[in-house]
Amino acid sequence: MAKQIIMDIKDFSFRYAGAPKPSLKSINLPVYHNKITAMIGPSGCGKSTLLRALNRIHDLYPGNEYKGEINLLDLQNDTYFNILKLKKENELIRLRQRVGMIFQKPTPFPMSIFDNVAYGLRLAGVKDKTVLEEKVTTALKGSAIWNEVKDRLNDSAMGLSGGQQQRLCIARAVALRPEILLLDEPTSALDPISTGAIEELVSELKKELSIVIVTHNMQQASRLSDYTAFMYLGELIEYNKTDKIFLNPKEKLTEDYVTGRFG
């Protein structure tokens, strides 16, 4: 790995369609390879908005406005390209295959467990049955859910528990072997035991990919992440190694937030 920064956000601003003011103002933030970057901040601070820009999922709704650069490292020739420049649907699809996303509520598709994981692969053009089976198995094993589902791969995914569904969604994203995985409050709808399982899985996954996680839970950020970004009212207030943010923040605002004085 020649370069450590896999995604570099530079002077990035974002305005929702029809909104008078931008929701994000001049954000500068690096995402390091094989590390977990956490984004924390009170509700409405823009952390989810920023996360959703990183795979351009905002483009599902028309009229939003991007400014600045979000540079993604192209691992093949070691150069960066600005994902905000992408226009064609094909290019965006390719981007989303490289930058996966997990949502707050588990989002299993109304199909079997196997087909859920195979769905993204099929979209990506994998047709060979043995290859599909192999990749699905690997993804399920890598997402710590294989033992729970191996005997019922053909059952509907809707019958799994919330925590299992979330791990299935992670398996579904991981099956495409993305370079970055975006997690939008992935455990806020889950019980403590399922949360523990997801956190363990996420720490395990960083060996293979880079992770950006949005969380409301500061313990989770401090437990999991290597770097933490604190955001407030659409601005990045402070970014540093996680222990620095939590033990020795530079900004008064950050200190107030991590110590629970507001938020």
Partner 1 sequence: MNRLLLNKVILVLSTLSAIIGIVFLFWILATLTIKGLSSMHFGIFVHDLVNGGIRNLLVGQFTMALIATAIGVPLGMMAGIWLREYSNQSRLASVIRNLSDVMMSAPSIVIGVFVYALLVSPVNHYSGWAGSVALAIMMIPIIISTTDNMLSLVPKELREAGIALGGSKHKIILQIVVKAAKVGITTGILLAFARIIGETAPLLFTSANNAYMTMNLNDQFPSLTVSIYNLANYPDAESRDLAWAASFILTMIVLFINLMGRFLTRDKG
Among 2, 21, 61, 151, binds partner 1 (CB under 8 A): 61
Nearer to partner 1, 168 or 218 (CB): 168
Q: Which long-range contacts (CB under 8 A, 24 or more apart) does 123-131 make?
A: 123/93, 124/97, 124/176
Among 41, 46, 68, 100, binds partner 1 (CB under 8 A): 100
Site for partner 1 in 173-192 (CB under 8 A): 173, 176
Nearer to partner 1, 75 or 95 (CB): 95
Cβ-proximal residues to 230 (8 Å cutoff; 6+ apart), any chain: 40, 41, 236, 237, 238, 239, 245, 249, 251, 253, 254, 257, 258
Q: How far is the CB of 246 from partner 1 (least distance, A)?
A: 30
How far CA 230 is from CA of 71, 139, 210, in Å, comes to 21, 32, 19
Q: Taking CB under 8 A as the rule, does residue 143 contact partner 1? A: no
Please count the other Cβ atoms lying within 10 Å of the Cβ belonging to residue 232. Answer: 22
Phi, psi angle pair for 193, to nearest 5°? -70, -45
Among 13, 26, 28, 104, binds partner 1 (CB under 8 A): 104
Mark out the alpha helices in the chain (DSSP H runs).
Answer: 47-53, 89-98, 113-123, 129-142, 146-149, 162-174, 192-205, 218-224, 242-247, 252-258
Q: Taking CB under 8 A as the rule, does residue 212 contact partner 1? A: no
58/16 Cα distance (integer angstroms): 9
Among 101, 132, 174, 229, binds partner 1 (CB under 8 A): 101
Number of residues counted as binding partner 1 (CB under 8 A): 27
Among 44, 78, 124, 191, binds partner 1 (CB under 8 A): 124
Nearest alpha-carbon partner for 162 in 239, 226, 108: 108
Q: How far is the CB of 111 from partner 1 (least distance, A)?
A: 7
Q: How far is the CB of 155 from partner 1 (least distance, A)?
A: 15
Q: Taking CB under 8 A as the rule, does residue 262 contact partner 1? A: no
Residues of this chain that interact with partner 1 (CB under 8 A) are: 55, 57, 60-62, 89, 93-94, 96-97, 100-101, 103-105, 107, 109-111, 119-120, 123-124, 169, 172-173, 176
